[in-house]
Amino acid sequence: MYTAAANVAERQLAPPSLAISTVIFALRPSERSGRPTLWIPLVRRIREPFKGMWALPGGPLTHSESLQDAASRNLRETTGLAPSYLEQLYAFGGLHRSPTQRVVSIVYWALVQPTEAALADESENVKWFRADRLGGLAFDHNTIIDYALWRLRNKMAYGSIAYHLLGEYFTLAQVREVYEAVLDRELDPANFRRQVKATPEIEETDQYLQGGKHRPPRLYRFSGRPGLDPDNRSTP
């Protein structure tokens, strides 16, 4: 009782602590169908609160780095990944996010290319999960991931963001598969290719992808620049 009261008092005095977390998306083949699906790496908590549960990778903000630098650093430290796309998602600051203290989390979301995702560290305490089968996570991390998914789908519908989930060269069918995986519906191949080919950021190469048991598709590449965040705006 007394200790509980003391905790409340301590909570009132200490300033809210600031943390950075990241929702990382990558494409991986589904176990059964083999089609690409969205996956997210999570880390197991090794201390209270929520000890033993899975959570988003994250950590504190150090003094010598910007928010975005902090995000990509702890992304590298916990999963070994270097994102091809990194953008601020939202600042979560609800009063009861953590049972022990008031924490404000500035959350980023990242896309990594499949070649990188394959190299990612995986261990007892770092594991990849299908974005649609996560189970219950620590803190409010399910809410955060839901919102990140919503943002991803939204950006996908307009922006040219899908390409950051692919390697440098890709076929138009691969782009379509990305859309199908993220939006979770099938798209007409012919109409989809007409639309993609109309966007000027996509350039034809004269390479073809060999190896399929069918006509080899042409390879394309993406020549657009990342984003329009305040943090990224200066870099033209």
Site residues for DNA per CB under 7 A: 171-173, 188-191, 193-195, 197, 208, 210, 212-218
Beta bridge partners, 21, equal 58, 107
Calculated CA dihedral for residues 188, 193, 196, 198, nearest 10 degrees: -120
Residue 165 engages its own copies in binding (rule: CB under 8 A): no
For its own copies, which residue of 6, 118, 119, 228 counts as binding (CB under 8 A)? 228
| Sequence letter at residue 227 | G
CA proximity to 56, closest of 140, 180, 163? 140
Instruction: Report the nearest approach of DNA to the CB of residue 194 (Å).
Output: 7
Q: Which stretch binds its own copies (CB under 8 A): 32-40, 74-82, 167-175, 224-232?
A: 224-232
CA proximity to 143, closest of 75, 88, 89, 84? 89
Residue 135 engages its own copies in binding (rule: CB under 8 A): no
Locate 69 and state its tokens: 């630098």
For its own copies, which residue of 104, 126, 187, 219 counts as binding (CB under 8 A)? 104
88 binds, among DNA, its own copies, none (CB under 5 to 8 A by kind): its own copies
Q: Which stretch binds its own copies (CB under 8 A): 7-15, 162-170, 177-185, 209-217?
A: 7-15
CA 146 → CA 19, 63, 133, 142, 176, distances in Å? 19, 30, 12, 6, 23
Contacts with its own copies: how many residues (CB under 8 A)?
Answer: 31
182, 125 in Cβ contact below 8 A?
A: no
One DSSP character per residue, 14-30 reads: SPPEEEEEEEEEEEEE-
Instruction: Give the binding site for its own copies (CB under 8 A).
Output: 11-12, 15-18, 61, 63-67, 88, 90-95, 102, 104, 106, 143-144, 147, 150, 228-231, 233
